[in-house]
Amino acid sequence: MKGLKIWGWILFATSFVIFWGCILFVPMNINRLNGGEALLLMVSFMCFILSITIWAIIRAINESRTNK
């Protein structure tokens, strides 16, 4: 359980760093994304979605433990 929480935070931090790193350090025009920028944004989005999924799994496990 602790390892799952750690992976969730790692994924969330990774998505945060990649997204803001892409926004701040790569001069990006939203109308014309090159392949690298689009890939970075897609990886950031996937990490964020996975971290939310892990959060939901942890919450469901905790609720099932307290209901017993």
Residues 22-62 have pLDDT tens digits of 877 766 666 666 777 788 889 999 999 999 999 999 999 99
Q: How far apart are CA 19 and CA 24, in angstroms?
A: 9
Residue 17 neighbours by CB under 8 Å, 6+ apart: none
Name the pTM for this structure.
0.80
In the chain, how many H helices and how many E strands? 2, 0
